[in-house]
Structure 1
């Protein structure tokens, strides 16, 4: 893709990830932090893959004058996500709707920050329209433990939903919160949708896709007849 961008003179966007920071030794995360990644760990193929992608992107910028933009995306959620993609918000919502226990890995005290998809799209759009290369953290600074997230899902779907603890995965980051000062100052961007506002929109979409929206189907059938 970088070679193609070079040939046709396109502006290139790399959607990188907060995972480039690994299991960070500082908190919150600023773009100047180099990260703390285990290069041979079970998660390293993703972490190091994105770090390598950032390296290549900057090499093409410096060596071939390709116009590049780099966004480091933090946990994002919203409608149309794959129901069984394994991401924590998808897992919790699908499990609660199906009356299954919410699976929490480890002690549930690890933190993540969750941004609604429309906020991310706005951030990416502003980055591409700007003259700034990045990298930019694009995420919601609102920080939740996994247990707090489970409680929000319970409140939105089923207050009686059970929580089931399972062994944590290796090299799982303990904390994950973006410092978005750079995005605020240079892109005039910050997220607008809180988890409490965005989650019900995702829940509604998941409910329709898991159980089917019979009301909508019946309405369409009547109109057709």
Structure 2
């Protein structure tokens, strides 16, 4: 039993490491060959995990091999558009200028219900409102509406607005994030003064503090977290 536990931990750690090295694409964003490799890795890990009669290397070696194959294919795709097209394929136009491309639908085994569902998920109901619907290599459908159906932007309304920045985490669970202060060229004294000006709790009383995308201080104390837990129960 102890041997099974150790083998499971080793194989699980290896699979997690391999998946991390393969990249951070979500399941729905994987290319076909990446999905095949992911499925094969899970199968290869499960065999020696369940059957202790099989050598552990019987799972480790093929998993490492698949990682090497994935790495080599990724490098080849970066260097050659032809190989990238050969492995991943090319995007296909399903709708153009409000007209359905019936030949592409037949070749890609897609029916009209699939397209209508995708349009509804994107907030559109009429095919005539769509300039382009493109089937991407990962199976997702990109919807580009006609100009008259595109949402109005601040630029269209001539509204002046600043570009938003990524939030910067300054403190978590009472501990300062030093890298964040180096990034904004500030120190602890500035932060303490900032808290006083905002009439916020002290550092030790805070659970989280960050500069939001507008440069404003967002904070929440540990007591507020506890109160929320009590309220939910």
TM-score relative to the length of structure 1 = 0.22
Structure in which a larger fraction of residues adopt helix: 2
Instruction: State the structure with bigger RCO (CA 8 A, min sep 6), 1 or 2.
Output: 1
Q: Whose Rg is larger?
A: 2
